[in-house]
Amino acid sequence: MEPKNTDLSTTNNHGDFDIEFINVTKHYGDVVALNDTNLKIPRGSFHSLLGPSGCGKTTSLRLIAGFEQPTSGDVRHRGVSMVGIPAYKRPVNMVFQHYAPFPHLNVEENISYGPRQRSPKPPKQELKKLVGEMLELVRLPGFQNRRIWQLSGGQLQRIVLARALINRPAVLLLDEPLAALDRKLRREMQMELQSLQREVGITFVLVTHDQEEALSMSDTISIMRDGGIVQTGTPSELYDTPVDRYVADFVGESNFFSGIVSAADSAQATIQTKTEISLTAPYPEGGKHLTIGQRGAIAVRPEMVLIWPLTHEQPKDIDFSVKGRITNRIYLGHQAEFRVVTDSLGEILARIPKTAEAVTRDLAPGDEILLGWQWNFGLAMPDA
- Dump strand ranges (E) for 90-218: 92-95, 171-175, 203-208
Give least dist CB 254 to ligand ADP, A: 23
- Dump strand ranges (E) for the chain: 17-28, 31-42, 46-50, 72-77, 80-81, 92-95, 171-175, 203-208, 220-225, 228-233, 255-264, 268-273, 278-282, 295-300, 306-309, 321-331, 335-342, 346-353, 368-372, 379-382
Q: Is 31 in the site for ligand ADP (CB under 6 A)?
A: yes
Of 37, 58, 167, 280, the one binding Mg ion by CB under 5 A: 58
d(CA 8, CA 22): 16
Only segment of 4-12, 51-59, 278-286, 344-352 that touches Mg ion (CB under 5 A):
51-59
Of 54, 79, 141, 293, the one binding ligand ADP by CB under 6 A: 54
Nearest alpha-carbon partner for 308 in 276, 264, 356, 374: 356
| Contact partner at residue 59 from Mg ion, ligand ADP, other proteins, none, CB < 5 to 8 Å by partner kind | ligand ADP
Give least dist CB 104 to other proteins, A: 5
Of 48, 58, 110, 232, the one binding ligand ADP by CB under 6 A: 58
| CB under 8 A, 24+ apart: contacts of 330-339 | 335/303, 336/360, 337/302, 338/307, 338/363
- The torsion angles phi and psi of 159, rounded to 5 degrees, stand at -65, -45
- Of 15 and 52, nearer to ligand ADP (C-beta) is 52
Give least dist CB 329 to other proteins, A: 48
- Of 174 and 380, nearer to other proteins (C-beta) is 174
Question: What dihedral do alpha carbons 314, 316, 319, 324 form, nearest 10°?
Answer: -30
Give least dist CB 56 to ligand ADP, A: 4
- Of 33 and 340, nearer to Mg ion (C-beta) is 33
Q: How far is CA 349 from CA 143, 253, 357, 373, in A?
A: 50, 9, 16, 12
Q: Is 206 in the site for ligand ADP (CB under 6 A)?
A: no
Count residues binding Mg ion (CB under 5 A): 1
Q: Is 53 in the site for ligand ADP (CB under 6 A)?
A: yes
Only segment of 48-56, 85-93, 99-107, 117-125 that touches ligand ADP (CB under 6 A):
48-56
- Of 59 and 360, nearer to ligand ADP (C-beta) is 59
- Of 64 and 269, nearer to other proteins (C-beta) is 64
Of 39, 41, 55, 247, the one binding ligand ADP by CB under 6 A: 55
d(CA 329, CA 334): 14
Nearest alpha-carbon partner for 336 in 373, 361, 301: 361
d(CA 244, CA 266): 16
| Contact partner at residue 334 from ligand ADP, Mg ion, other proteins, none, CB < 5 to 8 Å by partner kind | none
Give least dist CB 121 to ligand ADP, A: 34
Residue type, position 380, single letter: A
d(CA 229, CA 221): 10
Of 57, 76, 163, 245, the one binding ligand ADP by CB under 6 A: 57
- Of 92 and 340, nearer to other proteins (C-beta) is 92
Residues that bind Mg ion (CB under 5 A): 58
Residues that bind ligand ADP (CB under 6 A): 28, 31, 33, 51, 53-59
